[in-house]
Amino acid sequence: MKHLLKLLDLSGEEIIDLLNLADQLKYERRHGIAHPHLAGKTLGMIFQKSSTRTRVSFETGMIQLGGYPLFLSSRDLQIGRGEPVQDTARVLSRYLDGIMIRTFAQKEVEDLASYGSIPIINGLTDFCHPCQVLADLMTVREYKGSLSGLKMCYIGDGNNMANSLIVGGLKVGMKVSVACPQAYQPDQQVLDFANANGGFTMTDDPCAAAENADVIFTDVWASMGQEGEAEKRRIAFTGYQVNDEVLGAAHADCMVQHCLPAHRGEEITEKVFEAHADEIFEEAENRLHAQKAVMVRVMG
């Protein structure tokens, strides 16, 4: 694995290998066993959008691996003043051992990888959120013992999270059902992959999607960069909420996952969120372990 640009680029075996390594790194961290796999290496972290989890988990993860993280806000980089990503990639490749980038266009991440000569890790684009979904799969496997054959359900916006969950879930052998409003469907490239893969269903009815689910995911109705559409989206997504009625259609021991930040009363009720808080915050913790596994595989 040279980069982590999107889960579509990985095989199911590569995903499982990352989850196995993440489990091992989590065990070692819990037991105080040092693992300086990236001693002396430097990771640049470019952020063109806000972040709590991604920034802190990559930064601390890199330190735990013996390396050094540099937080690079696009407000301060020349990239924020229009320096082309092709030039930024070639310059930063001469200083750093890897780059994690959170930005808008997926093309920018792909360009960094093709013009640079160091590993690139996608820390969220409008298209996908692969690091998050590796942590999500890790968490589901931790609670359920396995992934293959389980039913994953996603309710809400056909956004970056939906795109990565569909691809990641199907690649590890899960069944995936999605409920989105007609006008907010996942990316066509993802739907083409899903429909060719089998095990995928798409509906506009949340309760139908949740039927016999083992895990239900949701995400915000308005993502970063869509703040101006928030009101329009609040109307379009009414009914696309993870609540008691939706959970009633799922298996009794169904998990609930949310990448966070969550908007209680919108995509998820306060009651469901708090009832599943342990699973949701384990998921947040697993960002650290899953991303350390990614860094070891691409930069090690």
Q: Which of 259, 295, 296, 299 binds ligand CP (CB under 6 A)?
A: 259
Report angle CA 11, 5, 145 to the nearest 5 degrees.
Answer: 45
> From the list ligand NVA, ligand CP, none, which binds 7 (C-beta under 5 to 8 Å, kind-based)?
none
CB 138 within 8 A of CB 203: no
> Is 163 a residue that touches ligand CP (CB under 6 A)?
no
**Complex with ligand CP: residue 241 or 257, whichever CB lies closer:** 257
Q: How many residues bind ligand NVA (CB under 6 A)?
A: 9
Q: How many residues bind ligand CP (CB under 6 A)?
A: 8
> Is 159 a residue that touches ligand NVA (CB under 6 A)?
yes
**What amino acid is encoded at 191 in this protein?**
L
CB 119 within 8 A of CB 299: yes
Q: Which of 129, 141, 233, 289 is catalytic?
A: 129
SS3 of residue 157 by DSSP: coil
Q: Which of 257, 259, 276, 289 is catalytic?
A: 259
Is the Cα torsion angle 37, 76, 160, 283 positive or negative in sign? positive
> Is 242 a residue that touches ligand NVA (CB under 6 A)?
no
Q: Which residue shows structure tokens 């735990």?
A: 64
> Is 148 a residue that touches ligand CP (CB under 6 A)?
no
User: How many other CB atoms sit within 10 Å of the CB of residue 284?
Assistant: 18
Q: Which of 3, 6, 53, 171 binds ligand CP (CB under 6 A)?
A: 53
Q: Report the C-alpha dihedral over residues 143, 144, 147, 151, rounded to 10 degrees.
A: -110
Q: Which of 11, 20, 52, 78 binds ligand CP (CB under 6 A)?
A: 52
Q: Which residues bind ligand CP (CB under 6 A)?
A: 51-54, 124, 132, 259-260
Catalytic positions are 102, 129, 132, 219, 259, 287
